[in-house]
Structure 1
Amino acid sequence: MIIRKSPAEIEMMAAAGEILVRTMDLLAGKIRPGVTTLDLDQAAEKFIRSQGATPAFKGYKGFKGSICASPNDMVVHGIPGKYKLQRGDIISVDIGVVKDGWVADAARTFPVGDVSPVAMKLLDVTEGALFAAVEQCRVGNRLGDVSHAVQEHVESAGLSIVKSLVGHGIGRDMHEEPQVPNYGAPGKGVELKEGMVLAVEPMVNVGRHMVRMGDDGWAIYSQDGSLAAHFEFTIAITAAGPRILTPWHHPEAQPAAAA
């Protein structure tokens, strides 16, 4: 069942998202060679808790971290640990925040110093695919319009969508209906209605689309060892258009949901 949110509930989610964005900004300033993924995790947890919120991922189905930190060929779900960032790496940082019972979820992939042209293309294309999806998050569109926007943007650049991993609805629970694939046919699927909130998250490989599970049962890698990127927003479907509740891109203040 898809749970639609009231404008007041969307504001609650936006409050969680505001903490998430400030957490992401904090970590962005710490990403440099020599920093461990555990360093990033500890900084995130300390800040989130200082804001009267909790890390959504901590303890979720046994997950040990407060964030997911996934370098290079790791697509998602990296458990923070001893890995030290190196110049030329890319690192996906996925953050979830719970504030007053409402969840926000977002991710960015960062370059660590100067990176290869292939890595920069991957980051640019994956981020661009997310913004293409945002434009389709409008009342009356179909879920397939969102999915197709991601697929078209990525595949037209010669990169591969990770088809076995999806986005999701979000609200009081981190994972709600519907699932949000990153590929599909336009005009198909669930109709988007006011009050729906989606975590849209393109996951893209430079090489082929297949992935493999790591030995820890959490980390997911590109099967062919190629670089991977992950970008994500929590997006509310409102009468005024898509509202990004986790605006880590800081274009301007996001408008309030329509009453």
Structure 2
Amino acid sequence: MIICKSGTESSFMRKAKRIDTETDHLLAGHIEPGITTGELDHLADRYIRSQGAVPSFKGYNGFPASICASVNEQLVHGFPGKRKLNKGDIIAKTRQFTMSHAIQQYIENPNRGIPEQGPRLKTGIGLAIESMIQIGSHHVGTLEDNWTVVTMNVTSCAHNEQAVTCETGGMDIFTKLSA
């Protein structure tokens, strides 16, 4: 079921996503060889709380941290910890959302979707658009922690997300910071 958000709900989502985006920018300034993903998690947790918010991912279905920190072959939901970053590592800090079926179909089967199928976008619908790209095979597996998704051929991958809502005048992109 798709639930359209009210203006007040969209406002709360926008504020939360702004804090999340600001957290990304803060962490980007600390990512360097030798820092651990656990240290990044600590920085994120402290910043989020300093903004009067609570890291919603921490404790969700047993997830042990405030952020996901997926490095190189870890596609999504990596646990932060003692892993030190090396020069050239790819790291994604993410939250849990679901990629829309239409976007997934477009990425996996370009120009093969069925036009005019699925729900119509309308004012108040929120979307999390996540692109997950990996080199080589599309096969993935999950580690014993039942969270961390990794590439089966141990190649690098990348994950990115954007949160948006449909508004009367177009799309409102929550992850864009004002200049």
TM-score, with structure 1 as normaliser:
0.63
- Give me the whole-angstrom Cα distance separating, in 1, the residues matched to 2:131 and 2:87: 24
Aligned residues: 178
- Give me the whole-angstrom Cα distance separating, in 2, the residues matched to 1:67 and 1:188: 35
Q: Flag the 1:217–1:148 CA change in 2: closer, same or farther, 3 A.
A: closer
Deviation at 1:68, TM superposition (A): 0.2
Equivalent position of 1:241 in the other structure: 170
Equivalent position of 1:87 in the other structure: 87
CA RMSD of aligned residues (A): 2.3
- SS of aligned partner of 1:46: helix
Q: Does 1:229 align with 2:166?
A: no
Letter in 2 for 1:6: S
- The structure 1 segments of at least 4 consecutive aligned residues displaced by more than 6 Å after TM superposition are none
Equivalent position of 1:67 in the other structure: 67
State the Cα deviation string for residues 152-204 of structure 1 (Å, max 9, x = none): 6xx79xxxxxxxxxxxxxxxxxxxxxxxxxx9544322211110001110111
Q: Is the 8 A contact 1:147 1:185 kept in 2?
A: no
Counterpart of 2:136 (choices 207, 221, 243) is 207
Equivalent position of 1:30 in the other structure: 30
Q: Flag the 1:74–1:185 CA change in 2: closer, same or farther, 3 A.
A: farther
Equivalent position of 2:122 in the other structure: 193
Q: Structure 1 stretch 1-10 or stretch 20-29: which is displaced more?
A: 1-10
Equivalent position of 2:145 in the other structure: 216
Equivalent position of 1:48 in the other structure: 48
Identity of aligned residues (%): 42
- Give me the whole-angstrom Cα distance separating, in 2, the residues matched to 1:54 and 1:184: 39
Letter in 2 for 1:226: T
- Give me the whole-angstrom Cα distance separating, in 2, the residues matched to 1:37 and 1:15: 25
Letter in 1 for 2:117: K
Q: Is the 8 A contact 1:69 1:92 kept in 2?
A: yes
- SS of aligned partner of 1:231: strand
TM-score, with structure 2 as normaliser:
0.90
- Give me the whole-angstrom Cα distance separating, in 1, the residues matched to 2:142 and 2:58: 20
Q: Is the 8 A contact 1:207 1:227 kept in 2?
A: no
Letter in 2 for 1:31: I
